[in-house]
Structure 1
Amino acid sequence: MTTLESLRADENALAPHYSRFGVADRLLLSAHSHQAWPDVAEEGLLEAFADAARDIDDKWERAFAKADELRAGFRALLSDPHGDYALGVNTHELVIRFLSAIGLRSRPRLVTTGGEFHTLRRQLARLEEEGVEVVRVPVDPVPTLAERVAAEAGSNTAAVLVSAVLFETAQLVPGLTHLAEACRGRSVELLVDAYHALGAVPFSLHELGLTNAWVVGGGYKYLQLGEGNCFLRLPAHAQELRPVVTGWYAEFGALADRQRPDRVAYATGGDRFAGATYDPSSHYRGVRVQRFFVEHGLTPEFLRSVSQHQVGLLAQRFDDLGLPADVISRDRETPLELVGGFLSLRSPSAGDLRRRLAERGVRTDSRGSYLRFGPAPYLSDAQLEVAMTTLSKVVSG
């Protein structure tokens, strides 16, 4: 079984399982955006090809079984064994399905934060142009963010849309339980983006008080599932809704309403919010990687311990550099236990620093004025220290 000590060593114990991505010889510090895939991911892709070549159009029975296994993996991550999950290629299409179900005509108001990822930021801005009122609550101070969002969720609000971890700063958003209770009391839908939590921060849905919430997330980042593996977790009352935007898969197993033959029929469970024909190879790949995580004991709790050590090491080495604060700095007020899976540094030259780091072999990424260092379990402590030393040279040179 994988241990913390074996991952900190110069010869990281997991690195050999990622030989195709060459993680032992590359400084891949953009893991909060796209982690390397373990070599077994290729097995999933080859299995998908073999099933398609052998079964032609009859492959879908096997493909749907893979989709069910992928859903089971997401349920386990959220400690939500009986939840209903719709799958999608990306979270945007799933959010669209959600928005099409919540009755914006009667309650044309959405509440969100000023720190949401571009997918939601752009979509809500466009809806605003069409007459939907969008309230954006400033993220700072983060400790009171959920409380301030709840205060804006009035009776004319259709939904609240927030992140569990802020994508620019990696700060965990506290108070989601209070927010969920406030939304439920006012019959306001709550959608939580858990993308930056899964695989970096344990996300026990029921312990967080989010039983009646919608949750979106996916595997492109910390879960190493690659593209095309996203989900929308449905609360129980979703079975009463009729989303406008769905595909023909949403009527699989549906019984036509004999009293209303003029109405579109819907399936039950997660299929109620299903799309249409898709590329199943992503699910094959994702399921094989999920199994790899189980085989190596990469549980949410273990991964959180790894992440906290690695982010803490990066923060300490950054502090040791003593770089000018007007050039680059970090938030030292937020304790590391309230930080997600990456170290966010602030700089007016974040984009330029990212580019210059890449020229020296250190892959990071930047969002506006934030330079983000994202470690991963397959990186050794020595690699993280080299990355920070390289940052010092870039800033000084």
Structure 2
Amino acid sequence: MIAPAELAAHYSRFRVCERLLLTGHSHQAWPDVARDAVIEAWDDAASEVDRKWERAAAKGDRLRAGVRTLLDDPGSEVALAASTHDLVVRFLSALDLGRRPRLVTTDGEFHSARRQLARLAEAGLDVVRVPAGPVESLAERLAAEVDDRTAAVVVSSVLFETSRLVPGLDQLAAACERRGAELLVDAYHQLGVVPLSLPRAGLAEAWVVGGGYKYLQLGEGNCFLRVPPHAAGLRPVVTGWYAEFGDLAGAPPGGVAYAAGAAFAGATYDPTSHYRAARALDFFDEHGLTPEALRERSLHQRGLLVEAFDELDLPDDLATRDREAPAEAFGGFLAVLSDRAAQLQEGLAAAGVHTDSRSRHLRFGPAPYVTDEQLRAAMTALGEVARRLG
């Protein structure tokens, strides 16, 4: 794969050579060609006016094709939306919550699912929140909570605070299938940094939600829901008028019909995001940024961060890390544990190092255009900030 310093030349607008951008798990830089795509969207609108939608649809199809490739799932239905929350709501609206009022999740989910499920619990649904740790037994503990009243299990494949991969999701999927419950996997923190093959992962019948704001460099507005084959015929309550495009499936007399393969579609949207996504996906293909190559670089970069952090020899009561799990058990960022994570983040920002924090987790997220020298400089800065705080 192209070297980081050479790759960085394609991200000049984000000034990745001038700034220490270690927010790769939250917001990676966009390649310069993404700006060209935004201009292309404008020009298509100006020249074609309302006829622009044919061109916009082609960009959406490119995004769907990219998602299918990332999931190793060439024939799947893929619904698009501006946010994962929108898609999670569409998914929930397809469940028979009257007959199965129980939802099972973890206390380590991202806010899109966490807040919505908490609100549904306030509204009277039975929402079970299983502790995310220890992650080694998480899938097993989730499976134990699935019963005949369970409509769905909602779980991430990589936990957004700790970067831990959740093992055993294939066993959880099997438990859901036995009980007739659905499994929704949030792969947002996996795609683009850890390869995911649904067939090999035992998730062929799982729903998968994710987006391009993080590792995929697609920017906002590029979220997706992979609809499993067995879901054909479901009639989500919350859906858009695009769900009527194409051949309409059967509906009750006088009822609302759904187009085959589009039941979870939305409605009129800003297509600029899909132009940007299509160009970024092409850029990845042109430069060999495959999931496997990205994983190789990520492991190297995270390993370098770990080594440099350990060399700081900071007191554990100030800052430490998970030293129990092997490198392959983590996703794409290093989580430093500290009761003063927010202060460390602020100090790093003042020193020109961009990170972020979630509760006790200070997160360092490298990206394929970040050089080893930049990673070492970031850790040197952490040592200086920590010593001032300590």
TM-score range, shorter chain: over 0.9
Counterpart pick for 2:300 among 299, 309, 313: 309
The answer as to 2:132 corresponding to 1:139 is yes
Determine the structure 1 residue equivalent to 2:181. 188
Determine the structure 1 residue equivalent to 2:54. 61
Counterpart pick for 2:286 among 270, 281, 295: 295
Determine the structure 2 residue equivalent to 1:221. 214
The answer as to 2:263 corresponding to 1:272 is yes
2:80 aligns to what SS in structure 1?
strand
Matches of 2:54 and 2:312, distance apart in 1:
56
Matches of 1:240 and 1:247, distance apart in 2:
16
Matches of 2:66 and 2:295, distance apart in 1:
18
Q: CA deviation at 1:128?
A: 0.2
Determine the structure 1 residue equivalent to 2:66. 73
Matches of 1:361 and 1:344, distance apart in 2:
19
Counterpart pick for 1:111 among 104, 110, 114: 104
CA deviation profile, 1:183-240 (whole Å, cap 9, x unmatched): 1111100000000000110011111011111000110000000000010000112212
Q: CA deviation at 1:254?
A: 3.9
Q: CA deviation at 1:261?
A: 3.0
> What aligned pairs does 1:276-287 form with structure 2 within 5 A after superposition?
276-287=267-278
Equivalent residue letter for 1:225: L
Equivalent residue letter for 1:348: D
Matches of 2:95 and 2:206, distance apart in 1:
13
The answer as to 2:370 corresponding to 1:387 is no
Matches of 1:109 and 1:372, distance apart in 2:
33
> What aligned pairs does 1:324-339 form with structure 2 within 5 A after superposition?
324-339=315-330
The answer as to 2:209 corresponding to 1:209 is no
Equivalent residue letter for 1:195: Y
Equivalent residue letter for 2:149: N
Equivalent residue letter for 1:19: S
Counterpart pick for 2:161 among 164, 168, 175: 168
CA separation of 1:15/1:242 partners in 2, compared to 1, >3 Å: closer, same or farther?
same
Q: CA deviation at 1:256?
A: 6.7
Determine the structure 1 residue equivalent to 2:356. 365
Contact 2:96 2:151 in 1 (8 A): yes
CA deviation profile, 1:280-315 (whole Å, cap 9, x unmatched): 000000000000000000000000000000001001
Matches of 2:331 and 2:81, distance apart in 1:
24
Determine the structure 2 residue equivalent to 1:90. 83
Between the two proteins, the alignment pairs up a number of residues equal to 388
Contact 1:108 1:132 in 2 (8 A): yes
Identity in percent = 63
Contact 1:73 1:290 in 2 (8 A): yes
Equivalent residue letter for 2:135: V
Matches of 1:192 and 1:227, distance apart in 2:
20
The answer as to 2:341 corresponding to 1:350 is yes
Matches of 1:264 and 1:332, distance apart in 2:
54
Matches of 2:196 and 2:371, distance apart in 1:
26
CA separation of 1:256/1:141 partners in 2, compared to 1, >3 Å: closer, same or farther?
closer
Counterpart pick for 1:26 among 19, 26, 30: 19
Contact 1:165 1:340 in 2 (8 A): yes
Matches of 2:264 and 2:252, distance apart in 1:
20
Q: TM-score, normalised by structure 1?
A: 0.96
Equivalent residue letter for 2:273: S
Equivalent residue letter for 1:288: R
Determine the structure 1 residue equivalent to 2:141. 148
Counterpart pick for 1:101 among 80, 94, 110: 94
Q: CA deviation at 1:384?
A: 0.1
Q: TM-score, normalised by structure 2?
A: 0.98
Matches of 1:255 and 1:329, distance apart in 2:
56
CA separation of 1:109/1:355 partners in 2, compared to 1, >3 Å: closer, same or farther?
same
Contact 1:254 1:265 in 2 (8 A): no
CA deviation profile, 1:237-281 (whole Å, cap 9, x unmatched): 221210000011111114374x73321000111x21011100000
C-alpha root-mean-square deviation of aligned residues, in Å?
0.9
Equivalent residue letter for 1:224: Q
1:25 aligns to what SS in structure 2?
coil
Counterpart pick for 2:252 among 257, 260, 267: 260
CA separation of 1:256/1:111 partners in 2, compared to 1, >3 Å: closer, same or farther?
closer
